[in-house]
Amino acid sequence: MITDRKDQWSVWWAYVKHDDGGGKERPVIVAMDYMHACSCFLITSKKHARRYKIKDLTSAGLPKESWVSFERIDLTPNNFLYRMGTICESDIVGLQTWLRSSSFNSY
């Protein structure tokens, strides 16, 4: 179990529970660390028009093309397995711009 604070915009390999009771390991981006839980964005390899494409895969520690799903989830410290990297400054700006955009807010 990893209990240290998670830096905003850091990318982690984490166990994500599904609503049906199952779950799987997948990458996430930490949006906010509240000490008892972290609000995170899911990362997926499935391209979709309503997702943000990560440009700098190396900084993020991702092995293949990846997109950020704007579905937020809350994870507790015991969900985090290891840190993969951190998204770069240009991806942070891109994500923030997308989050504020009218196209995102209308979905």
Question: Check: CATH 1.20.58.1610 for 10-100?
Answer: no
Query: What is the pLDDT tens value at each position of the chain, 107 positions in all?
Result: 455 789 999 999 999 998 888 899 999 999 999 888 999 999 999 988 889 999 999 999 999 999 999 888 999 999 999 999 999 999 999 999 988 885 555 44
47 is written with which tokens?
């391209």
- Is 60:86 a contact under the CB 8 Å cutoff? yes
pTM metric for this prediction: 0.88
